[in-house]
Structure 1
Amino acid sequence: MNSEKEILQQNFIKKSLLYRFSQFLGVLLGARFFIAVLLTFALYVSTFFLFNQEESFRNFVFDFKVHGIIFCTVLTILAGGIINQFYDLEKDHIVKPFRTRIQKFIKQKYFLYAYLILCVVSLGVAWMISHRVFVFFVVYQFFMWFYSHKLSRIIILNNFTFVSLTLYPFFGMMVYYQTFSGKIFLMAIFLFLILLCIDIVKDILTKNVDKAFGYNTIPNYFKSRNTKIIIIALLIVTMLVSMKIIYKMGISGFMAYYFILGLFIIIFCIYLLLDYSRKSKLVTLNILRLWVFIGIIAMLLNGIENRFID
C-alpha cells in the first residue's frame, strides 16, 4: 500500500511540475520572450557600436538612463507580444498549434493581467527617466495595441506598421544620441526592406488562414504571383541600397563582408522565390531571418575590432 501511495504521489508531483513548466513556457511563448531577448541584444550592440561611438565602455556600462530605456523597451515588446497573441488567438490555433497548446494551461485573463503589469512598470520606469521618454513609450505602447487590435487586418498598413514598430526603439536610440548620418540612414533602409520582405513572405505562408479570419494581406489582395513580384522588387532595391553602402559609405571590416555576401544571399532568395513550392518560401523566410541575426553579429564583431583591437 505504501509503495502504491508513493508511486501515486510521485506521479502527482511529476504532473504538477509538468503543468507548472507548461504554464511558464506558455507565458514565455505568449510574450514572445525569445524575440525580446534577440531585440535586446540587437539594441545593446547597435547602441554602443553604432549610435554611441564616442562614449567609453565604462561610461556606457554606468549610463543607467540608457539601460532604463532598453529595460522599458523590453517590457513593452513583451507586452506587445501578449496583446498580439490575445487578438490573434483563433488564427494562432491553426498557424502555431504547438504554442497555443502550451498556452491553454493559462487562462487568457492572466495574460491580460501580465500585459497591464508590463505596461505600467515600463511607463513607471520611463517616467522616472524623463517626461520625453515617458511620451515615447506611451506612443510605442499605443501603436503596439492599435496594431494588434486594428492595423494587423488592413492591407499594406499591417506590414509597414509591424516593421516600423520593430525599428521604433532603434530610432529612439538614434534620436537620444543625436546620431544622424547617411550611413546609418541607409543601413536603416536596408533593415526596413529586409524586415518588410520577411513579413510579406510570412503572409504568403499564412495566406489561407489570414483570409479565413479576415486579415486583408498583400498575398490575399494581389494574389501569390504578384506578391512574389513585389518581394523580388523589394529585394532588388535592397541590393541597390547594399551597393550604395559598400561603395559610397566607406564601410569596412566585418560589416563590409556582410553587405557584400548579402548581395549573393539576396540573389539566392530571388532564385528561391521563382519556385512556386511552399518549401522554397519557407527556406527564403528562414534565410532572411538568419541574415538579420548574422548582421547583428557582424556589427558586434566590427565594433569590437574598431573600438577595442585597433
Structure 2
Amino acid sequence: MNSEKETFQQKNFVSKSLFYRFSQFVGFLLGARFFVAALLTFALYVSTFFLFNQDENFRNFVFDFKVHGIIFCTVLSILAGGIINQFYDFEKDHIVKPFRTRIQSFIKQKYFLYAYLLLTVISLAVACLISYRVFIFFVIYQFFMWFYSHKLSRILILNNLTFISLTLYPFFGMMVYYETFSKEVLLMAIFLFLILLCIDIVKDTLTKSVDKAFGYDTIPNSFDYKTSQWIIVFLMLLTMAVSMKLISKTGISGFMSFYFSSGLFVFILCIYYTLDYTKKSKLIAINILRIWVFIGIISMLLNGIVGKL
C-alpha cells in the first residue's frame, strides 16, 4: 500500500515538474515575443528575395550567408527587444495581459535579463564577424530598442513613431544592403508604416486608462475620444490613398495589385469598426488589420513565385 502511494506521489511530482518546465518554456517564448519574431523573420525572407533582391537566383540567395547572418542577428535582436520591453512594462502587463504575465511568472525576471544580455552579445558578435557596418547597424538597432522601452514608450507620438520605425528598421537595412531604391518600394514602405501605425494607435485606445495610470502619454489619453478617432480615420484614409497611388503609378500587377485594390474595402470596413464606441469593435479592427498585413506578405510571396517562374 505504501509503495503504491509512493509511486503515485513520484508520478505526481514528475508531472508537476514537467508542467512547471513547460510553463517556463512558454513563458520565455511569450516574454521574448518569439511568435512576433518568427513572423518578422518570414516577412524579412519574403521581402528580401522577392522585393529587394529580384535579380539574384534562388541558389545564390540560399548560399548568401551574409544575408542569413544579418537576418539571424535581426531575429536575436527582436527577441532581446521583446524581453527588455516586457521587463519595463511588467507592472502594466499585469493588468493588460494577465494570462501572459501569469505564464511569465514561472521565470524570475533576472533570468529574462540574463537571456537579454546573452541574445544581445551573440547578435553583436555575429554582426561583427560579418562586417563593421553591420555591427554599427545592430548597435544602433539594439540601443534604440532599449531606449524605447526605457524612455520613448512614455512620450506622446514618439512612442508610436519609434515602435513602428523599429519594426521596419531591419527591412530598411535590407533595402540599403541591396541598394533597392524605387518609387514602388518607397510607397510600399509608407503603406506598411501607416497600417502598422493605425494598429498601434487603435491598440492604445484599448489600454487608455492603464496607460494613463502608469504614465504612458499616448494619443487616446492625451486627446479627447473624438479627436483620437479622427486621427485613426485620417491615417486609414491616407493609407488608402497610398494604395491607390501604388496601383495607378507603379504598374504593380498580379497578386499584389489585387491585394492593394481589395485593401480599399478592408480599410472602409476598419473605419466603420473604428468609429464604433465598443471595445469589441476596436479589437475586430485591430485583428482585421493584422490579418491584412499577413495576407500582404503571402501576396508578395505568391507574386514573387509567379514572377520567378
**Do the two structures share a fold, i.e. TM-score over 0.5?**
yes
Q: Which amino acid aligns with 1:266?
A: F
Tell me which residue corresponds to 2:76.
Answer: 75
Residues 179-217 of structure 1: per-residue CA shift (max 9 Å, x gap) = 000000000000000000000000000001000100010
Summarize the alignment of residues 201-240 of structure 1 with structure 2, pairs less than 5 Å apart: 201-240=202-241
- In structure 2, what is the equivalent of residue 140 of structure 1? 141
**Which position in structure 2 is the counterpart of 1:197?**
198
Q: Structure 2 counterpart of 1:223, which letter? A: D
Aligned partner of 1:295 in structure 2 is 296
**Cross-structure match for 1:15:** 16
2:240 counterpart letter in structure 1: M
**Residues 24-77 of structure 1: CA distance to partner in whole angstroms, max 9, x if unpaired?**
001000000000000000000000000000001000000000000000000000
Partner of 1:125: helix, strand, or coil?
helix
Mapped to 2, the partners of 1:239 and 1:185 lie a distance apart of 15
- For 1:253 and 1:15, locate their aligned partners in 2 and report how far apart those are by CA, in whole Å: 53
Amino acid at match of 1:221: S
- Post-superposition Cα deviations, 1:66-101, rounded to whole Å, max 9, x if no partner, equal 000000000000000000000000000000101110
Deviation, structure 1 residue 273: 1.4
Structure 2 equivalent of residue 29 of structure 1: 30
Q: Number of matched residues?
A: 308
1:2 CA drift (Å): 1.1
- Please state whether the residue corresponding to 1:105 is helix, strand or coil: coil
Please name the residue that 1:181 is paired with: 182
The corresponding residue for 2:287 is 286
Alignment-mate amino acid for residue 69 of structure 1: I
1:272, distance to aligned residue in structure 2 (A): 1.2
Deviations 1:2-31 (A, max 9, x none): 111110000000000000000000100000
Q: Alpha-carbon deviations, 1:226-275, whole Å to 9, x = none?
A: 11100000000101100000011101000001000100000111111121
For structure 1, the 5+ residue unaligned runs are none
2:111 aligned residue: 110
TM (norm. structure 2) is: 0.99
Q: Hey, what's the Cα distance between the residues in 1 that align with 2:134 and 2:224? A: 42
Question: What one-letter code is carried by the residue in structure 2 that aligns with 1:261?
Answer: S
Q: TM-score, normalised by structure 1?
A: 0.99
Counterpart of 1:272 in structure 2 is 273
Tell me the distance in 1 between the aligned counterparts of 2:102 and 2:115: 19
Q: How far apart, CA to CA, are the structure 2 residues paired with 1:273 and 1:160?
A: 20
Q: Which residue of 2 aligns with 1:262?
A: 263
Query: Counterpart in 1 of 2:244?
Result: 243
> 4+ residue runs of structure 1 moved beyond 6 angstroms?
none
- 2:13 equivalent to 1:41: no
> What code does the residue aligned with 2:150 have?
H
Matched residue, 2:172: 171
Q: Amino acid of the residue matched to residue 9 of structure 1?
A: Q
Instruction: Measure how far apart 1:223 and its partner are.
Output: 2.1
CA distance in 1, matches of 2:144, 2:96: 24
How far residue 225 of structure 1 moved from its aligned partner, in angstroms, is 1.4
The separation in 1 between residues aligned to 2:205 and 2:187, in whole angstroms, is 27
**CA separation in 2, counterparts of 1:244 and 1:223?**
32
**Unpaired stretches in structure 2, ≥5 consecutive residues:** none
- CA–CA separation in structure 2 for the residues paired with 1:224 and 1:39: 32
Deviation at residue 155 of structure 1 after TM alignment: 0.3
Give the Cα separation in 2 of the matches to 1:224 and 1:71: 42
Partner of 2:254: 253
Alpha-carbon distance in 1 for matches of 2:224, 2:132:
46
Q: Which residue is 1:158 aligned to? A: 159
Describe the SS at the equivalent of 2:56: coil
Taking the aligned partners of 1:278 and 1:11, their CA distance within structure 2 comes to: 42
For 1:124 and 1:273, the matched residues in 2 are separated by: 45
Q: C-alpha root-mean-square deviation of aligned residues, in Å? A: 0.5
